[in-house]
Amino acid sequence: MADLLSRPLIEIARALRENQTTAQGLLEQAIGRHERFGERLHAYLLWAPDKGRAVASAADAAFAAGVIAGPLQGLPISIKDLFAAEGFPCFAGSSRPLPASPWEEDGPLVATLRRQLGVITGKTHMVEFAFGGTGLNSHHGAPRNPWDATAHRSPGGSSSGAGVSLIEGSALLALGSDTAGSVRIPASMTGTVGLKVTLGRWSTEGVVPLSYSFDTPGLLARSVTDAAYGFAALDPALGDAERFLAKCGMLALDGIRIAVDDPFFWDSCDPGIAEAAREAVDALAREGAVLRPAALPEAAEAYAVFLEGGVSAIELRSFLDQELPDWLDQLDPIMASTVRGAEAPSARDYLARLGRPRTLARRAVPRFDGIDVIATPTLCITPPVLSEIGSPETYLAANRRIVRNTFAVNYLGLCGITLPVGLDRAGMPVGLQFIAPAWAEQKLLAIALAAEQVLGTVRERLGTPPLLAA
């Protein structure tokens, strides 16, 4: 089957099961994409074609014997460098690998992937210890955003290589993590789909922590269809991925209640962002979705907590002090001062910063009465040129804007998804974010899938990224 990599995951999985193609052949296509674009895009810290070939061979042997290990069998998948995985050193974006025990031992999510004979293509680049949304990394360099063929723009972070690996075509799903938007930010900036699940839905065991209080594993995909398939495949509570996808696909937009126009999310966006997001929302309304002006005031209050310092730096400093005490001296200079300063807040200050989001989360629950999802631009900022944010001051200002529209989903205990809906005036992707209550991933995915059927996938709506066409 020619150009199999461009097909939806569910079709590729069926082709593998029905012996219309092989996992080894699929992987070789993915390897070919990396050989063509990898040096230019710089998505991977560790590219592992030989390890992938061994698993693909095992997947083919299982198919030949009539054994189906799971819905991810034979599919190429990239994992962020903060996921522990046997046989792969874990740098967490730092300058040297973390101790092999426990950081080269499969955690639950990676173990689920391996049990299904999913093919790990490698470990993707990230911001050091996931502390930031720009993609900058002074140790290993930043991946390139493929939507600008001339300037080196932010690919988003902290899962900076994840979206790039999907656009490159070397992976069909990508594991990332999301503490303040680190799945949705790179997905939005690269024109892919990013799913942030409810805190506690997926285990963080085997994932290098940034914030014990807010870390969540997440998933990036080329389409909502693929994201729904991958979500069900990785979530032990859901069972059959094809049935889950079919169930999500039964929802129609007619009557779906979408909250819009909260000034916190929609105002002060860079040129073309709010316009593209609003055009997409209006297209959904023409198909029967009901738009309701509604606000989530707790989002602005949660953001104020973040601007005061939040808890991530304190909890990262705690992890480093306990587990990696000699790491402080080698941290990226841009983040080092913040992490060093995290020893200053008192226990009282820390507990107060934790308590406020919990209060805000309780207050936010009734905001969803009478609506199904809240729609916002995923980001308010065009992906910045990295050379323009290389100082601590410019970096901090850019990072604050990057997380503005994503941060509240984490602090308010919600789930969210971003899908690509257009280009801004700089020609960079614009994401539309849907926010739903905790544990409402199935409805969230069903609404996003219905929206994608109206709006189209990234390829249908945005075309080919200029760096891949050059």
Q: Which residues form the catalytic set?
A: 80, 158, 182
DSSP 351: H
Residues 6+ positions from 47 with CB-CB distance below 8 Å: 34, 38, 121, 122
Which one-letter amino acid corresponds to residue 416? G
DSSP 153: B
Is the backbone peptide bond immediately before 466 cis, with ω within 30 degrees of 0?
Answer: no
3-state secondary structure of 123: strand
| Helix 23-41 × helix 9-17 angle, to 10° | 140
Degrees (nearest 5) of the Cα angle 237, 235, 419?
125
Residues 6+ positions from 157 with CB-CB distance below 8 Å: 126, 127, 130, 132, 133, 134, 135, 136, 182, 185, 186
Is residue 160 within 8 A of residue 184, CB to CB? The reply is: no
Q: Which helix (H) or strand (E) holds 435?
A: strand 429-436
Taking alpha carbons only, the member of 438, 401, 459, 380 closest to residue 192 is 459
Sheet holding 119-124: strands in order across?
44-47, 119-124, 76-80, 173-178, 216-221, 193-196, 415-423, 429-436, 373-377, 257-260, 290-293
